Amino acid sequence: MSEKNLGPEGADGRAPRVLLAVCGGIAAYKACEVLRGLQRAGCDVRVTMTEDALRFVGAATFEALSGAPVATSLYGHPGSAIPHIELAEWADVALVVPATANVMAKMACGIADDCLTTTLLACHGCCPVLVAPGMNVHMWQSPATQANAETLRSRGVHLVGPDCGRLACGDVGEGKLAPVDQIVAAARAALGAGDLAGLRLVVTAGPTHEAIDPVRFIANRSTGKMGYALAEAAVARGAEVTLVSGPTALGCPAGARRVDVVSAAQMRDATLAAFEDADAAICCAAVADYTPARPADHKLKKSREHLDAIELVETADILAELCAAKGERVVAGFAAETDDLLAHATEKLRRKGADLIVANDVSRPESTFGADTNRVALVTAAGVRQLETMPLRAVADAVLDAVRDLGAAR
Ligand code: CTP
């Protein structure tokens, strides 16, 4: 890869440069929002489009938004005889939004039959390439597209999404373009913006709900605020964040990928799956330790069932499972306690095999559930570091500093 100044605060002080390659899919209009998001993040954006993309959004729109000519043809490009090479060498990162099955196939085969695909081919050795697929579920799942996606991945192309959801054609399934914020965050991470750029982090947050019957559940007082603050701070510092969240009233932090779960069992499965491709995890969720052994499939009636006991079984310890699987990766947990804070936290560090336990005394008003501040101690094998009472965002940054210093940042 050629030497370039990556990141907004690079040696020559210029803005990071993103080449946005827009293909002919219904999600092409979302590329406008991606362009705006990149500009808000301080990037200079140039656009290349396929002929088909022009049927969805006119070049004039991208020209007005980017303030520069849009490259749609190899010939007659204003001010450039060889636009594909100039664009590839200009860019710090190339971003394909939406990547159609056709363009992914061309990229995998090295086909360069228009301005966009020729430019992407020329990006090899010049800049990282990110691909955000957007297509019908059947096209995405077709063996050809899956093989092409694998080929691209094996060559270092970074795939952002696709997501699962309702598609333009009405089908529901995988193939939906990833959220704009997530695409922008991935581009920023590839640009090396932020001290956690490139770090793939899993954060668990919120409570879990353990069903007794279809209308009742066992839960706890967690609001998810601390976990969400961690996710938001990590995104702002360039990490790629998967937020596995129990039921909360909070909106997803911009740029994070949120996986919604309800029960401890669901949180375990989602967290272990996300951790497979991650560099670090922070378990902030207040996971129920017990769940009803046999949740009723109908609403229990007090006159009929005379419920006087609920048999409980232990849930899986997600943090301990992550620690068992972590290898060289960094895993942190929380200890929310009302007494003997540091003794319990130190015992959890050892018993679960974690690299860091963030101990907080939930009996104090400034560090209890739902507060906008927290007062924590960072407990590691090296010892205990007590922090002052601080806003959640500052606590989140201190926890992320500790995770980074434990070796998570690559
Ligand atoms: N945790 C987890 N899975 C569980 C229980 C807890 O991942 N089933 C994680 C929490 O997210 C937190 C840490 O483990 O990071 C400590 O949780 P806590 O409930 O305090 O620990 P327990 O081992 O359950 O101990 P106790 O409830 O007896 O204090």
222-236 pLDDT per residue, tens: 999 999 999 988 987
Average pLDDT, rounded, for the chain: 92
Around ligand 1, the residues with Cβ closer than 6 Å are 204, 264, 283, 285, 287, 289, 315, 317-319, 333-336, 348
Confidence bin at 78 (pLDDT 50/70/90): confident
Distance CA 123, CA 6 (A): 15
Residues 6+ apart with CB under 8 A from 401: none
Taking residues 244-254, what's their average pLDDT? 90
The 3-state secondary structure of the chain reads CCCCCCCCCCCCCCCCEEEEEECCCCCHHHHHHHHHHHHHCCCEEEEEECHHHHHHCCHHHHHHHHCCCCECCCCCCCCCCCHHHHHHHHCCEEEEEEECHHHHHHHHHCCCCCHHHHHHHHCCCCCCEEEEECCCHHHHHCHHHHHHHHHHHHCCCEECCCEEEECCCCCEEEEECCCHHHHHHHHHHHHCCCCCCCCEEEEEECECCEEEECCEEECCCCCCHHHHHHHHHHHHCCCEEEEEECCCCCCCCCCCEEEECCCHHHHHHHHHHHHCCCCEEEECCECCCEEECCCCCCCCCCCCCCCCCCCEEECCCHHHHHHHHCCCCEEEEEEEECCCHHHHHHHHHHHHCCCEEEEEECCCHHHCCCCCEECEEEEECCEEEECCCEEHHHHHHHHHHHHHHHHHCC
**Which protein residue's CA is at the shortest distance from atom 12 of ligand 1?**
334
Note the pLDDT tens digit of each residue in 107-139: 999 999 999 999 999 999 999 999 999 999 999
Model pLDDT for residues 271-298, shown as the tens digit of each residue: 999 999 999 999 999 999 999 999 999 9
Averaged pLDDT, 14-43? 94
258: tokens are 């949120």
150 alpha carbon – ligand 1 mean position (Å): 37
Q: pLDDT digit string (tens) for 368-396?
A: 899 999 999 999 999 999 999 998 989 99
State the virtual CA torsion across 359, 364, 369, 373 in degrees, nearest 10: -80
Q: What's the CA-to-centroid distance between 28 and ligand 1, angstroms?
A: 44
The residues, ordered by sequence, that sit 6+ positions from 277 with a Cβ below 8 Å of its Cβ are 200
Active site residues: 169
| pLDDT at residue 206, as a whole number | 98
| Nearest CA, atom 24, ligand 1 | 289
200 CA to middle of ligand 1, Å?
A: 23
CATH fold match for the domains 17-191 and 200-408: yes
Pocket perturbation via mutation, ligand 1, pick of 348, 349, 357, 378 by most ligand atoms within 8 A of CB: 348
pLDDT above 90 for 83? no
Decide yes or no: CATH 3.40.50.10300 for domain 200-408.
yes
Calculate how far, in angstroms, residue 18's C-alpha sits from the geometric centre of ligand 1.
42
* Average pLDDT of the segment spanning 399-409: 87
Cα–Cα distance, 97 to 327 (Å, whole number): 35
CA quadruple 290, 296, 297, 301: dihedral sign: negative
Which residue from 245, 289, 350 has its CB within 8 A of the most atoms of ligand 1, so it is best to mutate?
289
Q: Specify the amino acid at residue 315.
A: T
> 17-191 domain in CATH 3.40.50.300?
no
**Buried residues in 157-177 as b, exposed as e (16+ CB within 10 A):** bbbbbbbeeebeeeeeebbbb
Band of the pLDDT at 6, cuts 50, 70, 90?
very low
Domain range annotation of the chain: 17-191, 200-408
